[in-house]
Chain A
Amino acid sequence: MTVQHDSSVYEQIQSGEQFQELRRRYRSWAFPMTVAFLAWYLLYVVLSGFARGFMGTKLFGNINVALVFGILQFVSTFLIAWAYSRHASAKLDPLADELRHDVEERAQ
């Protein structure tokens, strides 16, 4: 069951330095990365629509730029997912745990 806390506890935590740091670490990683992978994906879709000559450039055998670009979308997705999980467990989880214990103690 949800423990009911006094709202002011949350406001104190929210304005506290530690929470601000957690929030900064989360947002400063997740937001720019979201913009980056969306831009990277849109670049791929736009080129697929408007630059078909370029996409059809053969690299080796029947492997062309379009195929490599598509595969790179998979690679970048896997890498970003992996990087996020590393970032989260190293930089976010310990701080979140500390804050959670802090709140739970205060609520007692």
Chain B
Amino acid sequence: MSHETLSTILFLLFVAGTLAITFWASRHTRSATDFYAGGRSFSGVQNGLAIGGDYMSAASFLGIAGIIALSGYDGFLYSIGFLVAWLVALLLVAELMRNSGKYTMADVLAFRMSPRPVRTAAGVSTIVVSIFYLLAQMVGAGALVGLLLGVTSQAGKIWTIIGVGLLMIVYVVFGGMKGTTWVQIVKAVMLMTGAALITLLVLGKYGFNLSGLLGDAATQSGKGAKFLIPGLKYGTEAQGTWGKIDLISLGLALVLGTAGLPHILIRFYTVPTAREARKSVLWGIGIIGVFYLLTLVLGFGAAALVGHGKIDKSGNTAAPLLADEIGRQIFGDVGGTILLAVIAAVAFATILAVVAGLTLASSSSFAHDLYAHVFKRGQVTEGQELVVARIAAFVIGAVAIALSVFAQSLNVAFLVSLAFAVAASGNLPAILYSLFWRRFNTAGAVAAIYGGLVSAVVLVIFSPVVSGAETSVFPDVDFHLLPLSNPGIFSIPIGFLCGYLGTVLSKEYNASKYAEIEVRSLTGVGAEKATSL
């Protein structure tokens, strides 16, 4: 049996299993709390796994291993920002949001401010961030199927994108947060098991001598010692000082973006108490941290054992090819086929779990923030709101499919870091100010979100990411103004400054509401209770 057939079978098993879970979840999803927050009935450990499943995208798994395999140390440097970022979520955001919010990021902001403008801003930002992230994942899925399953035809890629899109719509529309969370838990277990297995085999081959592995990787790369220090991908010497500022800008967006990503924030609502939210972030940090350490070995392992010649330009095939190589070296041809098939199936499971989380976050925000509170001013029943949420999931999914099919030949990998930059520049200032600053008000929240969002997007439009370079989205035109690919270093301070100026320039603020949110967020008084199980 070829590895393509085996991969397909394994992947279909995953799909069948997750569809069964979705069917089960749909029968246990009645209330809005069930749909948006899984009845708040997940334990800290379960939610910790789901956090890992939601967060570790194919870009993390295949992408980071690939960057390490091709550019060495820089891939490791990239992964560290994604991990350290969780401390912001743990120390400043997770518990306080769990105590004071209900279903969406906007709940916390709307609590003490004029709800309609604030929910509009937060809803727009949630949908924009989620669509950016979705596009990157789905276009990636189209490219992956070509690399992993040997489907190289244009039609094959388009059908893959449509298939991934339809599955994510089914998970969200029928399974809601319960179904999505279980899909993410299953995926996290598969991903960790697969990555740990390959890592052990690679380390075993080197007698658990990391230095030996690094030495081999450096030699095979042809770059020598440079392969083991920063600078081959981010902020290369050829790019000069701007390149290095760009590296710092990327680091800032990664470390501050996570705690502002809507699909991550809504995970904190799925547990019964703030203490379980804390526990889930602790588990999430453990899982994500271990995973990136495994990725370090996978990346250098691919450089050492597979070699640059065979790995594709994006690096996405590094981990699968490593699985094939190490499997063959240790267990023979059959072993290689099986391991490659397993890793390819895990990669698709990874994409599905992440896109489902994104679709859920954006459709929840559309239904709960924009439809129920902005358009209908709260005059809507729970049943109507849920119907709209499901329609929104369908529409957002369809839009994402259409955009991904259109964008599939473009270089859209930058959309992941743009999503982090927007989250760090717009959402994070609004959340932090509203939890910690008594004087903060409606104008400040609206200014922070739009200021951060617009400045990040505009800076990227006029950057080499979009035009003026070979790797640009539009390589044939050139309207770039700044030599900076990552907007964070400017857009994050702009977001915080807009929030500050918006606040002090408006006299409005509600001291008693701030007293309420502060007491509630720190003590858990009046926090939403678990409803099922």
Contact = CB atoms under 8 A, between A and B. Distances in A.
Contacts of B245: 49
Nearest to B227: A62
B515 interface: yes
A37 B84 contact: yes
A11 B512 contact: yes
Contact of B519 (A14, A30, A46, A81): A14
Contact of A19 (B210, B215, B513, B519): B519
Contact of B522 (A23, A42, A67): A23
B230 A74 contact: no
A85 to B, nearest CB: 6
A66 B292 CA distance: 16
Number of chain B interface residues as a range: 35 or more
A5 B526 contact: yes
Interface stretch (B247-255, B394-402, B460-468): B247-255
Nearest to B274: A96
B361 to A, nearest CB: 23
A7 B87 contact: no
Contacts of A13: 515, 519, 523
Contacts of A80: 87, 91
B49 to A, nearest CB: 16
Interface in A47-76: 48-50, 52, 55-56, 60-64, 66-67, 70, 73-74
A5 B279 CA distance: 29
Given A11-B512, A41-B251, A45-B251, A78 B285 contact: yes
B369 interface: no
A49 B247 contact: yes
Nearest to A34: B91
Contacts of B281: 81
B529 to A, nearest CB: 8
A41 B255 CA distance: 9
Nearest to A12: B515
B293 interface: yes
A103 to B, nearest CB: 5
Contacts of A82: 282
Given A11-B515, A30-B92, A41-B255, A74 B293 contact: yes
A72 to B, nearest CB: 10
Interface in B327-385: none
A81 B230 contact: no
B524 interface: yes
A50 to B, nearest CB: 6
A10 B251 contact: no
Contacts of A73: 80, 83-84
Contact of A66 (B84, B211, B228, B275): B228
Contacts of B218: 62
A62 B215 contact: yes
Interface in B206-223: 210-212, 214-215, 218
A1 B531 CA distance: 9
Contacts of B278: 85, 88
A66 B229 contact: yes
Contact of B80 (A74, A78, A81, A99): A74
Contact of B289 (A3, A46, A78): A78
Interface in B458-517: 511-513, 515-516
Given A55-B230, A73-B84, A81-B285, A46 B512 contact: no
B286 interface: yes
Contacts of B87: 33-34, 37, 77, 80-81
B147 interface: no
Contacts of A88: 95, 278
A19 B516 CA distance: 12
A46 B251 CA distance: 9
A8 interface: yes
A11 B279 CA distance: 30
B12 interface: no
Contacts of A11: 511-512, 515
B156 interface: no
Contacts of A33: 87, 91
B251 A42 contact: yes
Contacts of A27: 436
A100 interface: yes
Given A64-B228, A100-B525, A81 B84 contact: no
Contact of A103 (B231, B292, B523): B523
B522 A85 contact: no
Nearest to A19: B519
Given A10-B512, A88-B278, A41 B81 contact: yes
A2 interface: yes
Nearest to A46: B248
A56 B511 CA distance: 53
A3 B229 CA distance: 56
25 contacts: A3-B526, A7-B516, A8-B512, A10-B516, A30-B91, A33-B91, A34-B91, A41-B81, A42-B248, A42-B251, A44-B80, A48-B231, A48-B247, A49-B245, A52-B230, A52-B231, A66-B230, A78-B285, A78-B286, A80-B91, A81-B90, A82-B282, A84-B91, A85-B279, A103-B523
Given A48-B230, A84-B91, 7 more contacts: A2-B528, A8-B512, A42-B248, A45-B251, A70-B76, A77-B83, A103-B525
- Would you list the 10 A-B pairs with minimal beta carbon distance, nearest first? A61-B211, A49-B244, A48-B230, A45-B251, A7-B512, A62-B214, A14-B515, A10-B516, A56-B229, A10-B515
Interface of A: 1-3, 5, 7-8, 10-11, 13-14, 19, 22-23, 26-27, 30, 33-34, 37-38, 41-42, 44-46, 48-50, 52, 55-56, 60-64, 66-67, 70, 73-74, 77-78, 80-82, 84-85, 88, 92-93, 96, 99-100, 103-104
